[in-house]
Amino acid sequence: MTTDESAPWLVVGLGNPGPGYAANRHNVGFMVADLLAGRMSGSYRRAQKAQAQVLEGRLGPMGPGSRRVVLAKPSSFMNLSGGPVSALRDFYKVDTARVVAVHDELDIDYGTLRLKLGGGDNGHNGLKSMTKAMGPDYHRVRFGIGRPPGRMQVADFVLKDFSSTERKELDYFVDRAADAVEALLLEGLERAQSTYNS
C-alpha cells in the first residue's frame, strides 16, 4: 500500500441504508458524509468493487493544498461495514492509516467530537466489523450522541431519530464534524485534535 501525500484518503460515513434509518442517531456518519459530498460538489455513484456509494474528488483549498478523497457510505447494514470498507481500501490502494471512519459514539456527550487513530471498538458494531476486516489502525472521527436515558436499551437509543431538542443544534454539530474531517486530512491528527477534541 502507498502512503505518499498524493495517495487518496478513504473517508467512510457509517450508518444503515434506507430512508427508515436516515435520521437515526446511528446514521450521523452518513449525515457528515453527505455534507462533505456537498463540499466536494459531486454526487455518489455505486462502487464497482464494493457494496457502497462512493464519490471521488478533492477536499480543501483549490490547488496543491487539497487532498484526494474517496468518500463512501457502505450500502450494507452497520454490522457488516467491514466488507465494503476493506474492499474499497484494496480497490483504491489506500493504506489503512489513510482510512477515516465517521461514526456515532455513546460515551461522549451529544455534539462533542473526538479524533483518534486506532483503538478499540467500544461496542460499536460498525467499528467492530471494520477492525475484523482490516485491523484497528484507521482514523476515527467520533461524534458524541450521549448515553440512553433511564433504562432504554442502547440498540433502541441509537436506532431512534435525534430528539427535537437535539435537532436544533444538529446541523451545527454535523458541520463541525465535517470541518474536523477536513482538518484531519489537511493538517494532520495532532492539529485537528487540538482544535476539535473538546
- Angstrom distances, CA of residue 179 to CA of 56, 105, 126, 156, 175: 18, 18, 22, 29, 6
User: Hey, CA dihedral for 80, 81, 82, 88, is it positive or negative?
Assistant: positive
CB atoms within 10 A of CB 194: 11
Residue 124 falls in the annotated catalytic set = no
Through-space distance between the first and last CA atoms of the chain, rounded to whole angstroms: 33
Q: Which three cell numbers stand for residue 157?
A: 437509543
Choice among 26, 103, 124, 139 that is catalytic: 26
Which residues, other chains included, contact 31 with Cβ-Cβ below 8 Å and sequence gap of 6+? 13, 15, 170, 174
Rounded Cα–Cα distance for residues 29 and 27 (Å)? 5
* Catalytic residue positions, numbered: 26
